[in-house]
Structure formats: C-alpha cells, structure tokens
Structure 1
Amino acid sequence: MDNKSAILATLAYFDLFQYPLTEREIYFFLSRHISPPAFEQALGSLLAEGRVFAMEGFYSLHGDAGLIHRRRAGNALAARMLGTADRITGLLSHFPFVRAVGVSGSLSKQYADKDSDIDLFIITAPGRLWIARTLLHLLKKASFLFRRQDWFCMNYFIDETALAIPEQNLYTAIEIVTLLPLRGARAFSAFRKANEWTDGYLPNSYGRIVYAGDDRPSLFRRALEKLFAGRAGDRLDRWLMTTTARRWRKKTEAGRRNNHGILMTMDATRHTARPDPAAFQGKLLDAYERKVGELLRTARPSRPLNA
C-alpha cells in the first residue's frame, strides 16, 4: 500500500463512524511509517485530486460540513463526560482487587453523543477478577436507582496475568492505543508493553499524552483483599465465574440485546470477562475492507460545489 492509499484507508476506517480527522490524527493512525514531508506531499496530492476534502482543519472522504459540526459537538460533550469519568474511575479504583481503570470506546477518542455511555476497561489482581467484577456490578445495580447506569459500563475486564489482547487486528490496535488510563499507572504501563504488537498496525502511534493516577488503597479495599487472599478467595472467584458465565449464556441463547441493540454475549475465562469479539469486530473489519477496496478501485470522484 503506497502513501496515498494508506491515508485513504485511515480515513475510510473512521468514516465508518462518520468521524473526520485532523492532519495529526491521520498521521497517528496510519498503517505505515512515512516521513512527515512524504505524508504532507501525499495528503496534498489527494486534496488536489478531490479524493479527500479539507474543512475547518478536518479531513474527510466527503465534502460534508455537517460532519464537522457533528464532531465539534461530540468533542465538547466528551470533554464534559471525561470529567465525570475521572470521578467514577477514582471511586472504582478503591474497590478490592482493582488495579487499574481506564476509559475505552468512543469517549476515549474524545467523542460522545446523547446516547454515549462511559465505557470502562478494568485490570484486576491475578485470580480475583470475578470477585472484583461482582462487587463493581453491585455498584452498577445501585446506579439504576439514580438513572446513572450509563456511567458504569464496565464491559471489559482482564487480570494482570492476561494483559496481552489475543485478537491482533486493526480494530483492537486502535482501541488499545486510544485507551485512556485514568487510574493505575503501573498496571497500564505493563499492559502497553504486553501489547507492543500494535506498533505493527500503527507505527506512528506515539506521543499521545495520557494520565493515570494512583490513589492510596482504601481501608475497605485492604480489608477485603486480606479476607479473600487464600483458598477461600480462589474458590469464590471460580464459583462467581461459573455462575456469571452460565447466566450470560442464557442471555445469548435468548437473543437478549443491550440498549444499543447489540447481542449480549460474553467471553468468560478465569482471567478475562469481555464482550465476545466475534460479535462486533468481524462485522466492522469486513465493512472496513469493503470500503477500502471500493476506494482503491473506483475512479477519482468529482469535487462538489463549495467544497
């Protein structure tokens, strides 16, 4: 793939989400390493050919000013929601066996709309993921009383023995490099090291400013961790895993869907609790491949008026 094709492919991925990019973001998400001058030349050529459109500092495959308005509004809402997310992650980090909490999903990419949740990525102590998850989900159950359940979308758990994400593809690479660590600097540092394979997909994804604080463990956390440190904790964690996995299988078999219309599935192991990757990743990557194929096959489009 040459430089211009790589730029088109990057814009095509985010076009699936109707999300125009800045010049810096295009370079960050490129699938190949090229020098800044070569990047500028390739982008300029695409603009001159009318295959890419520039508006108000953003670049897109479409000359649609509505996309820019949508992004600006989404960025503004995300900035407000991230303040809430910081408070939420501060609370969750005090729960037993929680070692790190970060923001994932669209919010980690600085975008939100009226239907957005605060998606949370959580790293736990080894062998205690299911105890941690159960305690956190009791908190989420309570949040329904105050209609704040969208603040506690704890949909991805791994423990410190399973930091490497097994699915190695463009989707997971982008999710990993855009993850916003908010609590647990040490655990997230180890997580990033365990997933250095992302450099093969996104060789320019460096220099992103992230923040992860480390709060002093609460008395509640220290007491519960001491209580479940031995064999009793091992047995409880295994029982919670088995019970939860059985309940989720029933939801999947019944065709239950979440509030976004996505089938409720779970990949449950002793060291992971996450949505089944086959439920979403495959469809998205297939759509991406088709879009890129069409872009690289089709003739040069004409530039619309006022673009």
Structure 2
Amino acid sequence: MRTSLLNKANGLLTPAFEDHTARKESIFRALAYFDIFRYPLSKEEIVEFMNQPADNRSIEQCLSELLNEGAVFSHQGFYCLQDNPLIMHRRNEGQQRAEKLLKKAGKIGRFLYQFPFVSGVAVSGSLSKNFAEENADIDFFIITKTNRLWLARTFMHLFKKLTFLTGRQHYYCMNYYIDEEALLLEEKNIFSAIELKTVLPVSGEKIMQHFFTVNQWANEWLPNCTYKKQLQKDPRRTVLKKIIEWLLDNKAGNALDKFLFRIISRRWKNKTEKQKTNYKGVMMGMITGRHFAKSNPGNFQAKVLQQYEEKIVKISGISYPPLTVSSVK
C-alpha cells in the first residue's frame, strides 16, 4: 500500500484489472475514514461506505488480497487498518450500548417533534452508526418550518436548560438545525455524505424523505448506501404545538425569528472568539445562518477531512483530488 492501488502501469492495464484495483482502493478509503474514529467495519459496512458500486461477493477477493498484503487486518468479522484486537472489542461494546440507547433516542426524538415548528427529527452522530461510548450523547438533526428555525431552537434549548438540573443534558444534543428553505446541504464532501446517509429518521417522515431526495448528490460519494427509513409512524401534533404555531404564524413571528437569529448568532460568535468550552471541556463553536445552525466544536469537520487526506497520503503515498466540491467552513 506504499504505492497507489490505482497506478495504471503506463496505461497497459485491462479494464477488468482497473476495476479490481479501483475496488481495492475504494475499500481502503472506506477503512481509512473510519480508522480516524478507531471504528472497524463489517464486510457489509465496507460495501456501504465504498465510493465504487460493489456488493459483498465482489469485494471478497479484494479483501483477501488486502489481508495478504498486510494492508488490512481482520478480527471477529470486522476489518480495519490496525492490527489491534482491542479496537474490535471496543466496537462490540459500543454496539451493545448503542442498541440500548437507540430505544431511548427514539422516544426522545418523538418528544422533540412536538416542539413548535419542528417538522422533522433524526438521530445523528456516532449513535446513528450503531456505536456509543460510555456516557455517550444522543445527537439529533432537526428540520424546522421555513423562517421558524430560531423560534423552534429557542423553545427546545430553553427546555434543554432544565435537563441540566437532572443531569440528562447529554440526551438532548440538538446539534444541527436546518429549515425547509435550506434542505440542500451546502457542503458536499465525504464527511457530509456519510452523516447524511446514516441519520436515522425518528419523526417527520414526509419532510425527511424530501430532504433525502433533495440531497441525491450523496449517491455519488456512497452509491451502495441507502437512506434509512423511519420505523414508526409520526405522532399526532399536540394541541399546545398547534396553538403556538397558530399564534406565531404571522409577521410578528417572522420578526421574532429574525431577532432571535441576530441575538443568538452574535452570542455564539462571542463564545467562539473567546474560545469558551462546554461542560465536557471541548471548545464550543456554531456556524449560523438565517436558515441553518450547526454545532462545530473545535472545527470538527475540517479536522476530520484533513486527517482523512493525511491518512490516505501517508499510507498509499499519493495525493488525491480535493475531498470536497465546496469549501469546508
């Protein structure tokens, strides 16, 4: 793996051989990305996160060759770039914790759906990939009605302040908001594609399916990975939700949402400039716009993309094209 798997040997390779080497390269890229998180993959997961069309059968020979070359290691049915059985043990433990936590996440997600102007809720982060550390957070992706994101977020975060009193704040991490005006994600890269393809819809089935349809660009990055389906029917809207939405469905609601956007954006800019940290000691950050708000602790996405590129270059000895088709903020 010290030289590129895609070296075409002066253009003399047959198409079949080129397909085979491209498939090996794609397997390696998938493993390299999740190696950043010390997260081994099953054969089925490798196929899901490859950037080449493939299935379980078509990658068996490739995996066998990579194992024989010492480029990939396998333990307990999982594959990774490190010959470390402890990583596999960590994966198994994390998966067991996730199975329990996902049940709680479903209940919380359906509860969050009842907040005013919330039209879609999905589980995101590591839990959506069926993994949870000890004392793991439950991360949520939220879609709101157009021009009501900041009202919805304010209602939800006022409630979250109460959860600190009971020590349950880590169950209510609403990290990424968009409204129905901004369903198409601006950042189109491997990080965004994986997050998009792995979110688990909890409520708001119609808008979540529309969100997936709008973001078909992710299929170019992950052609074998299908969007996840919502497992339960949407709960009925509560009377309180209907009343608040009716009361603020006017010019006053528009003005209040704009006001909250300005105030909260200014406050988060101040937090970022002062390098304030959260209750876990992680530097806080949030990227905001009129129609979106997303947590960005320590410029996390950009760091992951940089580590991914460095890992590919270091191990395969070749620099690849840019990892994103739009700038990483």
**Distance in 2 separating the partners of 1:85 and 1:207:** 18
Cα contact 1:29–1:205 (8 A) shared by 2:
yes
TM-score normalised over the length of structure 2: 0.87
**Aligned counterpart, 1:112:** 132
After superposition, what is the alpha-carbon deviation per residue over 1:134-171, rounded to whole angstroms, capped at 9, x for unaligned?
00001100101111000111111101110111000000
Percentage of identical aligned residues: 42
**Distance in 2 separating the partners of 1:146 and 1:48:** 52
Residue correspondence of structure 1 range 178-193 to structure 2 within 5 A: 178-193=198-213
User: Judging changes above 3 Å, is the alpha-carbon distance between structure 1 residues 210 and 28 closer, same or farther for their aligned structure 2 residues?
Assistant: farther
- Displacement of 1:255 in angstroms is 0.7
Task: In structure 2, list runs of 5 or more residues that go unmatched.
Answer: 1-5, 7-21, 319-329
Residue correspondence of structure 1 range 200-279 to structure 2 within 5 A: 200-206=220-226, 208=228, 210-211=230-231, 213-276=233-296, 279=299
Instruction: Work out the number of aligned pairs and report it.
Output: 298
Cα contact 1:125–1:160 (8 A) shared by 2:
yes
From 162, 167, 184, the equivalent of 1:164 is 184
After superposition, what is the alpha-carbon deviation per residue over 1:234-285, rounded to whole angstroms, capped at 9, x for unaligned?
0111111111111111111111122444432222222111124991211111
**Code of the aligned partner of 2:116:** P
Local SS of the residue matching 1:96:
coil
Query: Does structure 1 residue 30 correspond to structure 2 residue 43?
Result: no
- Displacement of 1:206 in angstroms is 2.2
From 72, 83, 95, the equivalent of 1:75 is 95
**Code of the aligned partner of 1:49:** E
**Distance in 1 separating the partners of 2:307 and 2:232:** 34
Cα contact 1:5–1:296 (8 A) shared by 2:
no
Cα contact 2:219–2:225 (8 A) shared by 1:
yes
From 129, 153, 157, the equivalent of 2:173 is 153
**Distance in 2 separating the partners of 1:118 and 1:208:** 18
User: Judging changes above 3 Å, is the alpha-carbon distance between structure 1 residues 275 and 151 closer, same or farther for their aligned structure 2 residues?
Assistant: same
**Aligned counterpart, 2:85:** 65
**Aligned counterpart, 2:28:** 8
Query: Does structure 1 residue 42 correspond to structure 2 residue 62?
Result: yes
**Code of the aligned partner of 1:113:** E
**Code of the aligned partner of 1:236:** L
**Distance in 2 separating the partners of 1:172 and 1:5:** 20
Cα contact 2:48–2:224 (8 A) shared by 1:
yes
Task: In structure 1, list runs of 5 or more residues that go unmatched.
Answer: 299-307
After superposition, what is the alpha-carbon deviation per residue over 1:65-107, rounded to whole angstroms, capped at 9, x for unaligned?
1111100110111111111111111111111101011111101
**Distance in 2 separating the partners of 1:23 and 1:207:** 18
**Aligned counterpart, 1:302:** none
- Displacement of 1:294 in angstroms is 1.8
Query: Does structure 1 residue 85 correspond to structure 2 residue 76?
Result: no
From 262, 283, 286, the equivalent of 2:306 is 286
Cα contact 1:184–1:212 (8 A) shared by 2:
no
- Displacement of 1:289 in angstroms is 0.8
Bigger drift between 6-15 and 260-269 goes to: 260-269
User: Judging changes above 3 Å, is the alpha-carbon distance between structure 1 residues 47 and 287 closer, same or farther for their aligned structure 2 residues?
Assistant: same
**Aligned counterpart, 2:9:** none
Cα contact 2:197–2:225 (8 A) shared by 1:
yes
**Code of the aligned partner of 1:133:** R
**Distance in 2 separating the partners of 1:56 and 1:35:** 20
User: Judging changes above 3 Å, is the alpha-carbon distance between structure 1 residues 226 and 207 closer, same or farther for their aligned structure 2 residues?
Assistant: closer
- Displacement of 1:111 in angstroms is 0.5
- Displacement of 1:211 in angstroms is 2.7
**Distance in 2 separating the partners of 1:177 and 1:212:** 19
**Code of the aligned partner of 1:88:** I
After superposition, what is the alpha-carbon deviation per residue over 1:47-76, rounded to whole angstroms, capped at 9, x for unaligned?
222221121111111221111110011011
After superposition, what is the alpha-carbon deviation per residue over 1:5-40, rounded to whole angstroms, capped at 9, x for unaligned?
211111111011011100000010001123554322
